[in-house]
């Protein structure tokens, strides 16, 4: 099922998602995009991924290296750095904290709705 996610919310988590992907395996921009799509985030414009990779590279979270491609011109592959691994861990901790807090809030809201309906 396709879900519309606000672009502001998505931009806030996309860097963390990309770091998780790149820690598993280095990849080039389009390959990262395909992996993101596999997890149901298919509405990410390609014009969002490349500028974010550039920003992440400037911040030292990833390192880009040109590599030959069997299907055409060389491709820039991105590798997570030590700083990127730490940023990924920080993202996961923040995500788990926020998800827990929001889920608790949602659960309490649903419980209050059920009490009012009884």
Q: Which domains occur in the chain, in start order? A: 7-117 (1.10.10.10)
Stated length of the chain: 118
Q: Strand runs (DSSP E) across 1-118, as ranges?
A: 27-28, 62-69, 72-80
Structure confidence at residue 1 (pLDDT) = 37
For residue 112, what pLDDT is reported? 67
For residue 117, what pLDDT is reported? Answer: 65
pTM equals 0.83
Identify the burial level of 13 via C-beta atoms within 10 angstroms of its C-beta, where 0-12 means exposed, 13-18 middle and 19 or more buried.
middle
Nearest to 89 by CA among 28, 20, 21, 27: 20
pLDDT category at 53 given cuts 50, 70, 90 is: very high
């Amino acid at each position: 099922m396709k879900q519309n996610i606000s672009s502001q919310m998505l931009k806030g988590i996309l860097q963390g998602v990309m770091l998780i992907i790149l820690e598993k395996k280095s990849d080039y921009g389009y390959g990262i995009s395909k992996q993101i799509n596999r997890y149901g985030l298919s509405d990410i414009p390609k014009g969002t991924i490349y500028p974010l990779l550039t920003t992440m590279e400037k911040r030292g979270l990833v390192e880009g290296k040109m590599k030959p491609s069997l299907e055409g011109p060389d491709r820039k592959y991105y590798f997570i750095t030590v700083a990127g691994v730490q940023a990924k861990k920080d993202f996961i901790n923040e995500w788990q904290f926020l998800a827990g807090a929001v889920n608790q809030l949602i659960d309490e809201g649903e419980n209050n709705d059920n009490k009012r309906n009884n």
